[in-house]
């Protein structure tokens, strides 16, 4: 491997994405699921910025999009945590396996 090309960054982004997707699927703690979401968004961000650097057609749109993704991730994390807190206040637990009723 003489130089780092686009593929290497895409593989790294894919690894983060897969870890995040598995976190979302496997974690029983609701906040663990939220961490999985953050990992997925970071993997996507790495892809965006790598394309912005290696694609000679576009200039910096990838970085612009990455900035938007970061801002949206912050908003979504805030809401998700508020929901988790409400769930905890009502059910005394954050285990997502107990969230199986549609009511309350």
Partner 1 sequence: MSQATILFLIIAAFTGLSAVAVLVSQNIVRSAVWLLFTLAGTSGVFFLLGADFVAATQLLIYVGGILVLVVFGVMLTAQGPFITMKVGAAEWVIASVVGLLLLGVLVMSMPGPEAFGSSEAAPANAQVSSSTQLGETFLGLPGAMPEANVSGLPKTATAVPRTRVSYLLPFEIVSVHLLVVLIGAAYLARAKRRKGGLP
Closest CA to 14 of 47, 37, 36, 38: 47
33 is an interface residue for partner 1 by CB under 8 A:
no
- 3-class secondary-structure state, position 29: strand
60 is an interface residue for partner 1 by CB under 8 A:
yes
**Size of site (CB under 8 A) for partner 1:** 78
99 is an interface residue for partner 1 by CB under 8 A:
no
74 is an interface residue for partner 1 by CB under 8 A:
yes
28 is an interface residue for partner 1 by CB under 8 A:
yes
55 is an interface residue for partner 1 by CB under 8 A:
yes
Rounded to whole angstroms, how far apart are CA atoms 61 and 87? 38
The minimum distance between CB 65 and partner 1, in angstroms, equals 9
The minimum distance between CB 11 and partner 1, in angstroms, equals 6
Residues 6+ apart with CB under 8 A from 33: 23, 24, 27, 96
The minimum distance between CB 21 and partner 1, in angstroms, equals 7
103 is an interface residue for partner 1 by CB under 8 A:
no
Residues 6+ apart with CB under 8 A from 51: 6, 58, 62
- 3-class secondary-structure state, position 74: helix
């Amino acid at each position: 491997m003489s130089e780092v090309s686009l593929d290497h960054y895409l593989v790294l982004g894919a690894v983060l994405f897969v870890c995040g997707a598995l976190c979302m699927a496997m974690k029983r703690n609701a906040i663990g699921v939220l961490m999985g979401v953050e990992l997925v968004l970071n993997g996507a961000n790495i892809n965006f910025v790598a394309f912005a650097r290696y694609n000679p057609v576009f200039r910096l749109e990838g970085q612009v999009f990455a900035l938007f993704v970061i801002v949206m991730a912050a908003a979504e994390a805030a809401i998700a945590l508020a929901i988790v807190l409400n769930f905890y206040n009502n059910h005394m637990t954050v285990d997502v396996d107990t969230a199986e009723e549609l009511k309350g």
